[in-house]
Amino acid sequence: MTHLKPINQKANRVVDHVKAEAEGPVKADVVALQQTTPQQPHFPLGCSLVFSPGWEADSTGGTAGLCQPVERDIFDCHIGCFWPAQVPDQLNHAPDWTAKCASAQKDWRKLDLVFPG
Amino acid sequence: MRARIAGIAGGIAIAVLPLVAAQPPQPPQGRRPNAAAADEGIPITDPDVRLACGSCHVADDKGRMTRISYRRATPENWELTIRRMISLNHVTIAPEVARKVIKSLSDSNGLAPEEARPTMFEAERRLVDYTYAGDKDTHDLCNKCHSMGRVISERRTKEEWAGLLSMHRYFYPGIDGASGGFRRGGGGGGGGRGGNAAQGRGAGDGRGDNRQPYERAQDHLASAFPLMSPEWASWSAAMRTPKLAGRWAIAGYQRGKGPIFGELQITERSDTPDGFATDGKFTYARTGDSVSRKSRAIVYTGFQWRARSADGADDPGTWREVAFIERSGQEIKGRWFTGPYDETGIDVTLRRVSADAVVTGTDVASLKTASSGQRVRIFGANLPARVAPADVDFGQGVKVARIASTTPDVLTVEVDVASDARIGPRDLSLAGSTKSAAVVVYSKIDGIKVEPQAGMARLGGAAFPKRVEQFEARAFSNGPDGKPNTADDLDLGIVNAFWSLEEYTATFHDDDIRFVGQLNEAGLFTPNIDGPNPNRSGNRNNVGDVWVVGAYVPPGSDPSAKPIRGRAHLLVTVPLYMDWDYREVGR
Amino acid sequence: MRTLLCLLLASVALGAQQQAPRISGGNGVFYIGGYPNLIWIMDETTEKVTGTIQLKTGIPRRMQLSRDRTRFYIIDATAEKAEVVDIASKSTIDTFTLTEGNKRIRINSLEPDPTNRYAILLTRSGTKLRDRVEVGPATLLQYDLKEHKVMRTIPWPDGEERDNANLTFSPDGKLLYFLGNEILIFETENFTQVDRWDLSNLEEGLGQVSLSFGGFGGLDLTNDEPGFLTTAMTVEDPVQHRRMMGVARINLTKKDLEFYTIGPAGGVNFVLAPDRKHGYGLESAVDRYQFWTFDLDQRRVTSRTEFAGRPRMSLKTSSNGRLLYIYNAGATIDMYDAATYKYLRTVTLDGDMTTQFYVVPRTRP
């Protein structure tokens, strides 16, 4: 559009708004997400909101801050029961979840989908 | 231990006293503990439940079982509770017995329709934006790990809410700290986790409130969602097996595919209490594809419809149905869904059909001014065999020019719209039945919206299943005021857009678009495979966020005109490694 | 003849390339807790695993080096079992648990006294009754390591239950420090509080001070002089309300604190280098990862450089201070040159790390 490229969400909204004024049809995202409080990123329902560094999304609502890759830290998550709804917890639901692999980055295909209960 | 439990006559407050005694002083409570607790509790009389659960949940002389009698919940919540008993408390219970218990407790200890209505999104597995308005701290605390919908789907005494939070802290000890924030973890003489720049922490939160976050939540939940309510008192008296047998007209909508119409028959089943079966057919109005399907349902609490597809005798129930039966017995409304994350769904409304004609909707959602011969198919049931153009009333400025064909469920007409017809909705009347806002009259398409605005897909295919995301483009008009995003804007319905992905530049080196997956010409996004990707820097997963862009050229536009564009945000993220889906509800 | 000469030159050149100096981190020993139930022992010079210590209690989760560097105290992943491992013999010399029947006692942290006679345990009970669970308050216990008995419950200062306890003993074991923005000091005969040192208000006009103790896995005092703690602090001055970061060197015995501010506060941690004249830090924000060097003599940040990092990194210095080790979970430790921040190489273990690790220098302090 112009020589200026937005570098954050707020700037994105400014660009889209200006565009909307000029061209009419394009709507800024901020309108559709009016239910969220202003300036907050959007997190889909049910996603973890614990941002250390985050499971589905990092604190900015994106993926750049997630563990790279998640398999690197998976044991930590599992042993620490850190994501009770997302990752099988070693303490209760899946004590043997990682029994088939010593290094998750290598053996991640041996991890099973756990059906609690 | 045994003696202590047996000795609890009317209240369970005693068992949690040690917890209370160790806390700093609590804010004053609104009611006297033991005395009020003595009157609460719903007696459980079903022998199946007494047998299955009674060895641990001992009943008192009034038939009140510990824990169970002091809670009300939806069928889904009861299922999760029983599964916890199996996985965490090592209970053995056969599936058939578990289903009976779920049914029984959903009836004797369920939610009233008014209580359940705001929670339907949870049972319907919808990915909506929900913010619990009652208390921000409670919302923030519970929402950290799971949907708030789970919390608002139950009612408990104060002791029981405390018991729920203790359960969280016992099974997930880390929840007091970094993984849950149940406790502040501060005060002098503490350092906290993490090596980042120091954070000052003091007791309390500056508002003079010394309670820990989980204590604040406990107190709020106890006052906002107490065990007894007038709605439940009223409903539990009126509750009965609903009268549903008969013909029902289907009107629904599937994102990306458009409206569906059809009819099904509901019959009663004798093999299970409050059991029903459906058999019917529906058609996708835009493509003409039709689907025959059968399902088996159970109605819980007199109004909660839960069904599973039963197209074959051994159909595992690939589609589930969750719906709300209106008290009038004339309408059932909810969602039919499928997919490893229940992401593919049809919003469905069933309307009872008797002998009278009923109009359920049209295939076309909008009509342009100054047009003629526009074909509209009107769906319904018992539509008259002989119809004259004047019998079909669309309201101001819209005239039926010709009846093209008639069947009992589809009337095909051709419609002329005057050039001065006012823009806005039109109610459609035929043979005594009216469908409000059946179509919208517009003069110009001002833009398109892509939905969902905040999409989510999950990688999968190797170790875990994929979550796909279906997008659709909807045209809209700015409405009479000519301004976008105002209350009078008109939704003109789904349109076929040209779909593409664009990089959402959250970082300067963003390259997500190369890895996240594919968007097809129908707007369906299929994510890439899970696991680390050795072809990506840092061995990262194929996660990322991108724009989903729809481009649309309205029919009759100048060939050199630029397409109208709209876009949505798509988050492509990691799988869930646990599947919490409800396996027993509806069985 | 010329071909031969070319070949000769080529092989010399190749030989020279192969002999390019490889920066070593020192001659210390790595001890790394890992999956499924062991500690890897890795030689710092060769960066090869030379042996393992098999643990009896399962997956190690918290690993703590004793003051005299002869043993490790390990808490397992369930937080209910502790194991004491003798480094020289590479064997378990003790295991204990406080869990009894349906009453689980979870040990959140463990601090042995310098003579290894007893340990201070921060615990919380979780009791499973027939139809409910009960979670107790956080409790501080003095536990006799020889008799395997709780000697006493140490009451919380001000009766205020705390969830974390960063504890350290004085070198002679006579005093126990409860670290935080307010350091509480207990004598170790009867565990009565004998002093309190409020660090949050150090000086008039300085403003609110807060300190951080320990990174991932807790305090690592390997590089500090006994009785001293060097750590990062944040100050917010009362006039400008500007948040600044600084370094604090705490003399526990003398209750003395040397501090200075260094620049604006940010998300940087602080790790003391073995020469005690430098510190290193990691600034970690999405898509922006930086190494920092703190010069403690000059009291300045002498360099900050971006590098290709990733979320969730922890930093340790090598025993000779020449290398920076980047780690955290996973099976890899990345080596960087501390002077140039250049990435050198990665060590890959056979399994995932489940604890922080220690690099124990061969020379005693």
Question: What residue in B sits closest to C283 (Cα-Cα)?
Answer: B196
Q: What is the pTM of this model?
A: 0.86
Residues 6+ apart with CB under 8 A from B466: B340, B457, B458, B459, B460, B526, B527
Q: Measured between CB atoms, does A58 come within 8 Å of chain C?
A: yes
Contact A60 B465 (CB under 8 A): no
Which tens digit of pLDDT belongs to each residue from B80-104?
A: 999 999 998 889 999 999 999 999 9
Residues of chain C below pLDDT 50: 16-17, 216-217, 365
**What is the pLDDT at residue C132?**
95
* Most B CBs within 10 Å, among C162, C209, C327, to test the B interface: C162
Residue (of A72, A80, A75, A74) closest to C77 by Cα position: A80
d(CA C79, CA C123): 9
**What is the pLDDT at residue C149?**
96
Chains near B (3 or more Cβ pairs under 8 Å): A, C
**What is the pLDDT at residue A24?**
35
Question: What residue in C sits closest to B173 (Cα-Cα)?
Answer: C106
Which residues in chain A have Cβ-Cβ distances shorter than 8 Å to B507?
62, 64
Strand boundaries in C171-255, DSSP class E: 175-179, 182-187, 193-198, 208-211, 228-236, 243-251
Instruction: Find out whether B547 and B540 touch, Cβ atoms under 8 Å.
Output: no
Which residues in chain B have Cβ-Cβ distances shorter than 8 Å to C178?
189
Instruction: Find out whether C291 and C309 touch, Cβ atoms under 8 Å.
Output: no
The number of residues making up chain C comes to: 365
- Terminal C-alpha separation, chain C: 59
Q: Measured between CB atoms, does A22 come within 8 Å of chain B?
A: no
Q: What percent of chain C has pLDDT over 90?
A: 50
Which residues in chain C have Cβ-Cβ distances shorter than 8 Å to B538?
308, 310
Residues 6+ apart with CB under 8 A from B559: none
Which residues in chain C have Cβ-Cβ distances shorter than 8 Å to B163?
132-133
Contact A90 C59 (CB under 8 A): yes
Question: What residue in A sits closest to C62 (Cα-Cα)?
Answer: A80
Which residues in chain A have Cβ-Cβ distances shorter than 8 Å to C287?
64
Restricting to B residues 143-182, those with a Cβ less than 8 Å away from any Cβ of A are: 143-147, 149, 171-175, 178-181
Q: Which of C131, C178, C180 has its CB closest to that of B56?
A: C131
Restricting to B residues 87-106, those with a Cβ less than 8 Å away from any Cβ of A are: 87-88
Checking ipTM against 0.90, whether it exceeds it is no
Distance of CA A53 to the CA centre of its chain: 9
**DSSP per residue, B177-221:** TTTT-SS---STT---S--SS-----SS-SSS----HHHHHHHHH
Q: Measured between CB atoms, does A64 come within 8 Å of chain C?
A: yes
Which residues in chain C have Cβ-Cβ distances shorter than 8 Å to B192?
164, 212
Which tens digit of pLDDT belongs to each residue from B380-416?
A: 999 999 999 999 999 999 999 999 999 999 999 999 9
- The CA distance from A69 to the nearest CA of chain B, in Å, is 4
**What is the pLDDT at residue B13?**
37
Question: What residue in C sits closest to B18 (Cα-Cα)?
Answer: C136
d(CA B108, CA B72): 8
- The CA distance from A95 to the nearest CA of chain B, in Å, is 11
Which residues in chain B have Cβ-Cβ distances shorter than 8 Å to C130?
1-2, 5, 56
Q: Which of A16, A29, A58, A73 is catalytic?
A: A73
Q: Measured between CB atoms, does C352 come within 8 Å of chain A?
A: yes
Chains near C (3 or more Cβ pairs under 8 Å): A, B
Q: Which of A5, A48, A92 has its CB closest to that of B144?
A: A48
Instruction: Find out whether C22 and C43 touch, Cβ atoms under 8 Å.
Output: no
Which residues in chain A have Cβ-Cβ distances shorter than 8 Å to B566?
25-27
Contact B189 C214 (CB under 8 A): no
- The CA distance from A108 to the nearest CA of chain B, in Å, is 7
**DSSP per residue, B372-434:** EEEEEEEEEES--SS--GGGSB--TTEEEEEEEEE-SSEEEEEEEE-TTPPSEEEEEEETTEE
Question: What residue in B sits closest to C311 (Cα-Cα)?
Answer: B538
Contact B531 A69 (CB under 8 A): yes
Q: Which of A25, A48, A115 has its CB closest to that of B447?
A: A25
Annotated active-site residue A73? The verdict is: yes
- Give the CA-trace dihedral at C353, B511, B339, A117, to 10 degrees: 10
**What is the pLDDT at residue B24?**
35
Restricting to B residues 237-256, those with a Cβ less than 8 Å away from any Cβ of A are: none
The number of residues making up chain B comes to: 587
User: Quick one: tokens of C22?
Assistant: 């490889």
Question: What residue in C sits closest to B17 (Cα-Cα)?
Answer: C134
Which residues in chain A have Cβ-Cβ distances shorter than 8 Å to B179?
50, 52, 80-84
**What is the pLDDT at residue A4?**
43
Contact B507 C128 (CB under 8 A): no
Q: Which amino acid is at B224?
A: A
Q: Which of A60, A79, A106 has its CB closest to that of C59?
A: A79
* Most C CBs within 10 Å, among A72, A74, A98, to test the C interface: A72
* A-to-B residue pairs, Cβ atoms closer than 8 angstroms: 190
Instruction: Find out whether B499 and B547 touch, Cβ atoms under 8 Å.
Output: no
Q: Which of B87, B149, B179 has its CB closest to that of A50?
A: B179
pLDDT along chain B (587 residues), means of 10: 38 35 34 50 96 96 96 97 92 94 97 97 93 92 92 97 96 87 62 30 57 95 96 96 97 97 97 95 96 96 97 83 97 97 97 96 96 96 95 96 96 97 96 96 95 96 96 96 92 96 90 96 97 92 96 90 95 94 91
Q: What percent of chain A has pLDDT over 70?
A: 68
* Most A CBs within 10 Å, among C61, C352, C356, to test the A interface: C352
Q: How far is CA B236 from CA B232, B242, C130, in A?
A: 6, 14, 30
Q: Residue A34 — pLDDT band, cuts 50, 70, 90?
A: very low
Question: What residue in C sits closest to B203 (Cα-Cα)?
Answer: C160
**What is the pLDDT at residue B205?**
52
Task: Tell me the backbone φ, ψ of residue A19, rounded to 5 degrees.
Answer: -60, -40
Q: Which of C77, C287, C311 has its CB closest to that of A53?
A: C311
Q: Which of B2, B171, B190 has its CB closest to that of C163?
A: B190
Which residues in chain A have Cβ-Cβ distances shorter than 8 Å to B464?
113
pLDDT for A2 beyond 60: no
pLDDT for A11 beyond 90: no
